[in-house]
Every structure is written in structure tokens, then in C-alpha cells.
Amino acid sequence: MPADIPPTSGRSLTPIDEAIASAVYPILVAVAAVRPGRTITYENLILDARQQLAGHEHPIHSQIAQNLGRRLEALRGHTQRYSYPDLSCLVVNAVTGDNPLPELLVRQSHARGFDWSAVAPEFLAELGIDDSTGMPRLRRTEQEARGAMGAHAKEHGKRYHPGLRDCRDEIIAALIRGEDVDAVFTEIDRRLRRLDDQNEYAPA
């Protein structure tokens, strides 16, 4: 496996970087599955991702090829954290067919030979991909996440562990990533109840 590429110095990733990374991930996985030798241009990657998210409000619809590199860097950061191959190596310049990454052919070989159907659920969740469909979750703004949390708590709050009120930041972060409201509340509720059970039966 080629060496990891460090992030660009001084660059902080934004929610838009993460949203675009999520949008292009399924396209690049499909490109990697077509062997031998398929690549995709920056322009076509954007067009394919737009088609995938047609009818949905998403920053991919205003993305331009010239600054797609920082979005691909966000994707590379996710794959490197899990020691997965670099999918960004499959994206090339439409005129020259080039990609500036080092050890390009080796990187492309690793990306094409990897079983992308076997990635960890935690990786997909972190990237904002629905593990049941393999497609990007539609992210919420912080305001939308707070609204969804408040509405769900108002309607269903009595059925959950009272400790959920101390998990607001965790809930909001999950909702911003596009996770299902009921699933987020249910998972945290289960975790809190398991902790209660462990504490109840723990030796004094």
C-alpha cells in the first residue's frame, strides 16, 4: 500500500467538503469495480453525482471541477483513517488524463482490487453513507438537526431514558450527518439502559 498523503497544511475541512465527499464516494466505488483501467474525469464525476442526487437540495449541484480537489482530499482522509485504498486516484484531468498523486498506478491498482462491499459500518457512518443502500445520506443543517431533535423529543420523549437530555450534542451531530431521527434516539437509549444494567449488577 502506498504511503499516506498528509492533509494540506492550514486547510480545515468544511461541512460542504464532507457532503461532496459523501456524494462522490458511490460513483468512485462503481468506477473501481470496472476493470481494467477505468478512470473518470472531474467533470463527469460531478455530473454523475448530480444525477444520483437529482431532485434533492445538495451542494453537489453547485460544485465545479476546479475546486473538487479539496473535496477529494476529504474523502482521502476518511479512507486513510481506515487504511483503505485511495479512491481519489481514479479521478483524472479531462484533457491530459493525469492525476497528480504519487505512485498513481499502484494506488489505482489497490483501489480497483479492494472489496468495497466489505468496508466497516463505522467508516460508512462517518462518511455519511447509508449502509443499507450504499448511497449518501442527505445531511441536515444544525438548525434542521435541532428542529428534528426537538420535534421527536416532544412527541416521543417519554419512552426514552431520561439521560438522553445530556446527549444533545451527540444527537445533533448524528442528525447533521443525515442519520434517521428515531434510530439515533433508539441507539443512545439502548446504550444508556445497558449502562444502567451494568451498574446495577456491578460488584460493590
The percent of residues in the chain predicted with pLDDT above 70, rounded, is: 96
Can you give the residue ranges of every domain in the chain? 15-127, 142-201
Cβ atoms < 10 Å from Cβ of 124:
18
Please give the mean pLDDT across all residues of the chain. Answer: 89
Contact criterion met (CB below 8 Å) for 140 and 148: yes
pLDDT digits over 114-148, tens only? 999 999 999 998 888 888 788 888 777 788 889 99
Per-residue pLDDT band at 23 (split at 50, 70, 90): very high
Contact criterion met (CB below 8 Å) for 149 and 175: yes
Residue 204: per-residue pLDDT: 55
Cα dihedral: 46, 52, 56, 60 (round 10): -10
Cell readout for 177 is 450527518
pLDDT digits over 39-93, tens only? 999 999 999 999 988 877 788 899 999 889 999 999 999 999 999 999 999 999 9
Residue, of 138 and 196, whose pLDDT is higher: 196
Question: Is the CA virtual torsion 124, 129, 132, 137 positive or negative?
Answer: positive
Per-residue pLDDT band at 177 (split at 50, 70, 90): confident
To which residue does cell 492550514 refer? 10
| N- to C-terminal Cα separation, the chain | 50
Cell readout for 155 is 412527541
Pairwise CA distance, residues 151 & 181, whole Å: 10
Pairwise CA distance, residues 202 & 83, whole Å: 37
Residue 4: per-residue pLDDT: 80
Contact criterion met (CB below 8 Å) for 115 and 109: no
